[in-house]
Structure 1
Amino acid sequence: MPMTTSSSILQPQSFHPVFETSITADGFDNCSLNLLYTLPPIVFIDAYELANRADAYTFQYAGPPSSSNLELPVAAVAKEDASVLLSTPWATSDSSRVVELPFHVRYGPATDDEQTFVETPLSWPDVFFACPSGSDTSALPPMPASLSAPFASMSIFPVHPPPDAVPEEIIRTPVGTTADVARVELGTAVVVIASFFFLVRVARRTVRRLNSGNRVLTAREE
C-alpha cells in the first residue's frame, strides 16, 4: 500500500473550523506519526482544547507570544506564522488514520469594499513518520528548533500527498466593512448610555425602597 496523505477543512466559513487529515501507510511499527501545521496570524489554537484530545495525540506549539492570546483581533498580534506539531504512536495494526486539528479564527479588520469575507490560504500539514534510528532517513520539514529537537536521533520518513493534489485549503472569514463602522459605534454608544441610565434608575428605586423600609421599622420601634 503506497503512503499518501490528504487534507480538508470542515466548516471553512466559520470561526471554528477543523483541519482533517487522512494518512495511509504500512510498515511503521514502533514509529510515531507526526503532523506539522503552519498557521498564519489570523488562525490560532486553544491549548486547553487540544489537551482534551490527549487520547488521540500530543501537541507542541511554537509561535510569537501574542499569538497565544485568544482574545486579540488579528491586527493586534505579531505578523508571524506559528507552528503546531501533533504526534501519535503508529500501531502495528494501523494502515490508515484520520487526525483532526480544531482551530479558531480571529476577527479581521474591516474592509473598504463590499466584500464581507476575507479568504486565507492554509497549507496542508507536513506529515512524516519518526522511527528508531536506521540507515534510511530523510530530512525533517522546516520547523522551529524547539520542535525539531526530539527527532535528532530518529529516522524520518515523509508522507506526501498525491502528485495531482493542490496541498492548500481556503478559509473564508466574515468581516465588517468600514462603511458600517460609524453605525456600529453609534449603536454601541446608545446601548451603553441607555444601560447606564437604566442602572441608575434601578439603583434609585432600590435606595428608596430600603429607606422606606427603615422608616417603617423605626416607627414600629417607637
Structure 2
Amino acid sequence: MQSSSLLHPHSYHPVFRTRISASGHENCTLNLYYELPPLIFVDPYELSNRADTYSYKYAGSSNLELPVFALGEDDSRNSTLLVTGVETLSREGVLEVEVPLHTRYAHTSTTGTTFQETKLSWPDAFLACSLSGSTSRPRYDSELPKMPTEFVVAFEAKTIVRLWPLEGVIPVETVSTPIGNTADVSTVELGTAVVIISAFLFLVHAVRRTVARIGSTTTPLSAKKQ
C-alpha cells in the first residue's frame, strides 16, 4: 500500500512525500516511478545529496534554468524519474521517501490570475525482489509501470510487486505555481534595466576611485632613487 502527499504545494520548491507499507517483503527494494509535466523538474545535484537514502535515474530536459515557454519541442515532453531505495525493506516494511521538486517559470497571466495549477500524479510504487538462486527469466507478481527501456533493464531477474493506493483515493496532487501579470512585464523589464545599468555605473565609479587612490599613495621608483 502507498500514500503520497505534496509538501509546500504553493511554492517553487514542492516536495513529494511517499509512505509505503509492505510488511512481509523484507529484502526487497522500494522503487518509485514519477512522470513530471514540463512545468516541474528535479535537480540531479540535489538528488545526489540524498545518495544515502536512494539512487535515481532521470530522463528529460537537462536545462534546469529555462522557463517553461522557452523549452524546445523535445524538452516539452513529460520527464521521468525513477527512485530506488538504497536499503532493502525491513520485516515491518514501512518506509517514507521525500523527493524535492522544482517548478519552472510559467507564462504570465493576461487575466490577473496569480497562480497556475498543475496536476501531478502520485508515483508508481513497486517492490523489486530477488529470485533466490533462480537463473530463469524475470517473474512478475504484477507488471512493471510503463517506463523507458533503460530503466527496465535494472529489473531483470526480479519479482515485481506493485503497491497501490487505498481504494477510493484519487492519486493526484495539485501544484500551484505563482505567475506574473502580463501587464507588469514592461514595467519589470524597465526596472531591471535601470537597476543593472545603475549597478554597472557604480562599479565603474568605484574602480576609478580605487585606481586613483592606489596611484596617489604609490611612490614612483625614480623618487626613491633620489
TM-score bucket (shorter structure): 0.7 to 0.9
**C-alpha offsets along residues 21-65 of structure 1, whole Å, 9 cap, x if unaligned?**
1111122132221110111111111212212212211111122xx
* Mapped partners of 1:55, 1:210: distance in 2: 52
Which among 58, 66, 69 is matched to residue 72 of structure 1? Answer: 66
AA at the equivalent of 1:147: F
- Relative distance call for 1:221 and 1:164 in structure 2 (3 A) is same
AA at the equivalent of 2:130: P
How many Å apart are 1:221 and its aligned residue?
A: 6.0
**C-alpha offsets along residues 112-167 of structure 1, whole Å, 9 cap, x if unaligned?**
11001111110000011122347662211110111111223222111110111010
**1:158 equivalent in alignment to 2:174:** no
**C-alpha offsets along residues 63-105 of structure 1, whole Å, 9 cap, x if unaligned?**
2xxx222212112222111111111243342331111111111
* Mapped partners of 1:205, 1:157: distance in 2: 70
Q: Is the deviation greater in 92-101 or in 200-209?
A: 200-209
**1:23 equivalent in alignment to 2:25:** no
* Mapped partners of 2:33, 2:79: distance in 1: 10
AA at the equivalent of 1:27: G
AA at the equivalent of 2:31: N
**1:32 equivalent in alignment to 2:26:** no
Q: Give the structure 2 partner of residue 100 of structure 1.
A: 98
How many Å apart are 1:207 and its aligned residue?
A: 3.6
Q: Check conservation: 1:12, 1:172, Cα contact below 8 A.
A: yes
- Relative distance call for 1:206 and 1:221 in structure 2 (3 A) is farther
AA at the equivalent of 2:198: A
* Mapped partners of 2:177, 2:201: distance in 1: 36
Q: How many residues align?
A: 216
- Relative distance call for 1:91 and 1:221 in structure 2 (3 A) is same
Unaligned runs of 5+ in 1: none
Alignment of 1:163-202 (within 5 A): 163-202=167-206
* Mapped partners of 1:202, 1:92: distance in 2: 63
Identity %: 47
Q: Give the structure 2 partner of residue 112 of structure 1.
A: 110
* Mapped partners of 2:196, 2:45: distance in 1: 33
SS in 1 for 2:189: helix
Q: Give the structure 2 partner of residue 144 of structure 1.
A: 148
* Mapped partners of 2:153, 2:219: distance in 1: 75
Q: TM-score, normalised by structure 1?
A: 0.88
* Mapped partners of 1:94, 1:185: distance in 2: 56
* Mapped partners of 2:199, 2:38: distance in 1: 35
How many Å apart are 1:20 and its aligned residue?
A: 0.4
* Mapped partners of 1:95, 1:199: distance in 2: 59
How many Å apart are 1:11 and its aligned residue?
A: 0.6
SS in 1 for 2:168: coil
Q: Check conservation: 1:120, 1:170, Cα contact below 8 A.
A: yes
Q: Give the structure 1 partner of residue 134 of structure 2.
A: none
Q: TM-score, normalised by structure 2?
A: 0.87
